[in-house]
Amino acid sequence: MQMKRIPLEITRYSNSSWFRIKSKNYIIHIDPGFGGTLESLGLPESLFRDKADLILITHPHKDHVRVEAIEKLWRESTVIIASENALDASLFPHKVIHENEDIEFFDIKIHTIPAYNTEGGHSFKKFHTRGLGVGYIIDIEDTRFYHSGDTDLIPEMSELKGIDICFLPCGGTYVMDIEEASNAALLIQPKYVFPMHQADLDMLHLKYRLRDEKDIQVMILAVGESAKI
């Protein structure tokens, strides 16, 4: 008899790019940062009850890494992987990673790709230079994730293969806009897209642009909301 697959649970923690991936065996947090205060996010304490096995940080900006967020997630066995200069090693021990590196913890495989603003990209505040941060490809329990970090549509996205779930920004200020995000989804061809870093845009615009792509499902989450896949 075929065993029933344990669903993954994806939870959004901030309006930028903080997400939790909860699988059968692991809890992974990506970009635990935010604007404003932690209290202003309105997250229930229950979302911090289970501590992180792995924390991944794409780049140093405070809406992607905040010490007070990590303090809520961290325990002695938590592994933290961060781009260069994203985190003070005296506060939390961590592994510094650069683009195009491979690393494995537990049985989770991680590969990094670049994340940056391009001269011709649609972002109009280009604060993300090449080398500042990374995007993460994460292989866990037969599922492949891609979290792009803060980026425009970049050529490296066309090389991504077998992505099941991806997290793409779409706000257009510091990152790609809705048009570029939809083009990125068409390049990557994931099964699920979670839009993020949307600024004041309605994420339904991304869903509308991808309405004819029957194999791509756009998953829109509010802060504090979860989806099981």
Over 90: is that where the pLDDT of 4 sits? no
Residue 174 to residue 118: CA distance in whole angstroms: 11
pLDDT in tens, 158-189: 999 999 999 999 999 999 999 999 999 999 99
pLDDT in tens, 86-131: 999 999 999 999 999 999 998 999 999 999 999 999 999 999 999 9
Over 90: is that where the pLDDT of 1 sits? no
Q: Which of 156, 157, 136, 159 lies closest to 58 in space, CA to CA? A: 136
pLDDT at 6: 60
Written out in words, the top-level CATH class of the domain with range 9-223 is alpha beta
pLDDT at 141: 87
Residue 10 to residue 84: CA distance in whole angstroms: 26
Instruction: Summarize the confidence of residues 141-148 as an average pLDDT.
Output: 96
With cut-offs at 50, 70 and 90, classify the pLDDT of residue 50: very high
Any bridge partners for residue 139, and if so which? Answer: 109, 144
pLDDT at 7: 82
**How far from each other are the two terminal CA atoms of the chain, in whole angstroms?**
22
Beta pairing class for 217-218 and 192-196: parallel
Backbone φ, ψ for residue 41 (5° rounding)? -70, -25
pLDDT at 96: 97
* Domain ranges (residues) in the chain: 9-223
Instruction: Summarize the confidence of residues 2-21 as an average pLDDT.
Output: 84
pLDDT at 2: 43
How much of the chain, in percent, has pLDDT values that exceed 70?
Answer: 97
Residue type, 186: L
Residue 12 to residue 223: CA distance in whole angstroms: 5
Q: What is the dihedral of CA 20, 22, 28, 34, to 10 degrees?
A: 10
